[in-house]
Structures are given as structure tokens and as C-alpha cells.
Structure 1
Amino acid sequence: MKIAITGGIGSGKSYVCRLFEKHGISIYDCDAAAKRLMRTSPTLQQQLTALIGSETYNSEGQLNKAEVARFLLQSDENAKAIDAIVHPAVAHDFQESGYEWMECAILFESGFHQLVNKVIVVTAPEDIRIQRVMQRDNISREKALEWIHKQWPQNMVRERADYEIINDGRPLEPQIERIIDSL
């Protein structure tokens, strides 16, 4: 059985993943995999360079994050073009990885929900999410809200998930244990 843990920015999904890992569950991190593949896959490097331009990687072959971010933020079409290159590579990497669990922030937007049998969503009240993002990234409330609103609303994800972990200060361990027992 393949299981995904998802949740919007500031929900605490990475923290919840670490709690699952304390129960002996290894979790594939889609964000980390995307960054790794963009650094190490010659195919991805060629495709991204063809899309973005010769400045995508420096002379040592290191990803020019500023150049990728500039291209990404220019338009939704640019973001979709990058996703069309990176998402299939990450999906393939997950399928070949041997992992049964994945952490994926944009599970439904990326289509990765099709790779799993069950979905766990981590939710938190918006005010808590805003505070977490502001503190973690040292950004303004407005910028935190901008990032939150770029993702699907929590209720849309919650409706599609099989399980919900509410990360609002209540104990997480009993919620996690209930899900593990149910699986």
C-alpha cells in the first residue's frame, strides 16, 4: 500500500512526517527529491536548460536557483513548463525508490495522488499557518498569505483525503497512532 502525507505550507506536515518516522516509517520527500534530481539528472539538466536558457546551470554544473526562480515567477505558463519536466522525473524516482510513503505538498495539483492508495492531510487553522511561515521564512504576513493562497485551500484537500491530522496544538501522537492502527 502506498500512502501520501500532504498539507499546505505551514500546516506542519514535515514535522508530522518526522513523528511517523519515529514509528519506523520511512518517507520519501518529494521536494528534496526534486531538488536532488535537478542537481544530478543529466536528462533534467538538459530539459531545464533548453526551457530556461544557458544560465540555468553555472560552469560547474550547479543549479542557478535565482535564474530558475526568475523564470518560474514570470508566469503561470513558465511554472507549468518546469512542473511538466520535474514532476514526471520525481514520480518515476518515487516509483523506483522502494518507499511506500511520500511527503508531497502539492499532491493533487501534481497528480501524485494517482501514485498512492491512501492520503493523509495535515491541517491547521490559517492564523497558525501564517505565524509558522512568517517565523520559519522570516517574511511578512502578506507574503505568507500569498504563499498560502498559491496552494489549494485546505478544505479541498481535506475532502479528497482519507485521513486528517489536525495540527493546532492538540496532541499529535494519538492521531498518528489511530491512523497507523487503521492502516
Structure 2
Amino acid sequence: MMKVGLTGGIGSGKSEVSRRLAEHGAIVIDADKVAREVVEPGTEGLKEIVEAFGGDVLRPDGSLDRERLGAIVFADAGKLAVLNGIVHPKVGARVQELQDAAPRDAIVVYDVPLLAENGLAPMYDLVVVVDASDETRLDRLTRLRGMSEQDARARIAAQATREDRLKVADVVIANEGPLEDLDARVAELWGDLRARAA
């Protein structure tokens, strides 16, 4: 099994790379998806979040209001640390379960937004960083995701710097242009991963 860590700052296009790798045949374990799973209604994770942040972080249907919680934690490093202390151990346990279920010869891509921030690079055989300038990311977040510029800047600032992310990269996929340009880069990456795995 080859373990590939895939990361990139918010708005870099990491999810697009992840999706394309899955289409090529990679088994993708998405840390964000797992993080949502471990805080669904009825989970211990959601219970602990409500204990730490209060019932205001719940929607009327009892699910987590991620936007409201995000507005609280991305403006306060201490509160973000509390949230991470609740969610990260649960994500780690679930990721281990998914990894154990993968075939032995699989190329497993771990889509991990905070790989650089959490010093996780040594866990992988190879780290791929999807890279775009802060200006490009800001444009995508405000134009495509409808974030306010202030919120987008706060989320970018809450993550590792571009330089810190590039320091942990074994492979960098530059993604400044349109999504169509990514197809060839991802196909090339997939060929490289298969050759390394063999």
C-alpha cells in the first residue's frame, strides 16, 4: 500500500485534484468528510462540541452549524485548538479503520487540509501539495464560494503559510489556471504514483 498525503490551502483546488485521483483509481480518504462524519447528530463528537461551545452551534434540526462554529473558531486560536482537540482524535481513529479496509496494493490518497499545520508529512510515503497564490485563492473563495473577503482572509490566515506548505512537499501541483489545466497534471501525477508503487 502506498500512502500519499494530499494537501493545499483553502481555495487551492485540492478537492479537484482529489476527485481526479479517485477517478484514476486511487482510494481517497478525505479528512474533511471524515471530520463531518464524526460530528453527525448522535455522535460523541457533536456532544463534546456542544459541551465546549454551547447549543448555539446547532441548527434547528440538531446538526452542527459549521458556518457558525467556523466563525467562532477561525477568529480565536484558543477556541480552534479546543475544537481540534475534540475532532482530530476521532478523525484519526476513523481514518485508521478506512485504511485497514483498503486492498494491500492500493494507492491510498489522504486528502488532509491541515497536513502541514499538524506536522503529518512523516506519516506518508509521498506528500503532494496543490499550490496557488493567496490572491488566486482569495478570488476563488469570494467569487466561487461566496465568502466575504474578511472571512476568506481569516481562513487563509488560520492555515499554514504557502512557504510552510511547500517545505513539506515531495510533489507540487501548481493550480493557478482553469480546472481544465489540472487534468493533464493529475494524469501525470497518477502515472508517477503508479510507477513509484510498482
Alignment match, 1:118: 126
Aligned pair partner of 1:135 in 132, 137, 143: 143
Q: TM-score, normalised by structure 1?
A: 0.84
Residues 77 and 141 of structure 1: CA distance in aligned 2, closer, same or farther (over 3 Å): closer
CA 53–143 in structure 1, closer or farther in 2 if over 3 Å, else same:
closer
Tell me the secondary structure at the aligned position of residue 5 of structure 2: strand
C-alpha distance 11-70 of structure 1, shift in aligned 2 (>3 A): closer
Correspondence 1:178 to 2:186: no
Shift of 1:146: 3.4
Write the letter of the residue equivalent to 1:178.
D
After the TM superposition, which residues 47-86 of structure 1 pair with which residues of structure 2 at under 5 Å, given as runs? 47-57=48-58, 61-65=62-66, 67-73=68-74, 75-86=76-87
Aligned residues of 2:121 and 2:168 also touching (Cα < 8 A): no
Runs of at least 5 residues in structure 2 that lack an aligned partner in the other structure: 103-107
Identity %, equivalent residues: 25
Whichever residue aligns with residue 68 of structure 1, its letter is L
Q: Shift of the alpha carbon at 1:166?
A: 1.5
Measure the CA separation in 2 of the matches of 1:48 and 1:78: 11
CA RMSD of aligned residues (A): 2.5
- Which structure 2 residues correspond to residues 1-183 of structure 1 after superposition, within 5 A? 1-40=2-41, 42-57=43-58, 61-65=62-66, 67-73=68-74, 75-98=76-99, 100-169=108-177, 170=181, 171-172=184-185, 173-183=187-197
TM-superposed CA distance for 1:94, in Å, is 0.5
Deviations 1:144-170, CA, capped at 9 Å, x for gaps:
333322211122111112211122335
Give the TM-score, by structure 2 length. 0.78
The structure where helix makes up a greater share of residues is 1
Determine the structure 1 residue equivalent to 2:105: none
Residues 78 and 165 (structure 1), Cα distance of their counterparts in 2 relative to 1, 3 Å cut: same
Query: Offset of 1:45 from its aligned partner?
Result: 2.4
Moved more, 106-115 or 21-30: 106-115
> Could you say what secondary structure the match of 2:39 adopts?
helix
Residues 69 and 46 from structure 1, CA distance in 2 versus in 1: closer, same or farther, beyond 3 angstroms?
Answer: same
Is there any run of 5+ residues in structure 1 with no aligned partner, and where? none
2-side partners of 1:54 and 1:23: how far apart? 42
